[in-house]
Amino acid sequence: MELSERHRTYWRRNLMLTGTLLAIWFVGTFVAGYYAVELNSLSFMGFPLGFYVFAQGSLIAYLLIIGIYVRVMNRMDRRYGVSERRS
Q: How confident is the model at residue 54 (pLDDT cuts 50, 70, 90)?
A: confident
From CA 34, how far away is CA 84, in angstroms rounded?
Answer: 41
With a threshold of 0.95, does the pTM exceed it?
A: no
Percent over 70 (pLDDT), the chain: 95
Q: Could you give the 3-state DSSP secondary structure of residue 64?
A: helix
Q: What local confidence, expressed as pLDDT, does residue 69 receive?
A: 97
Domain boundaries, the chain: 1-78
47-48 vs 43-44, strand pairing mode: antiparallel
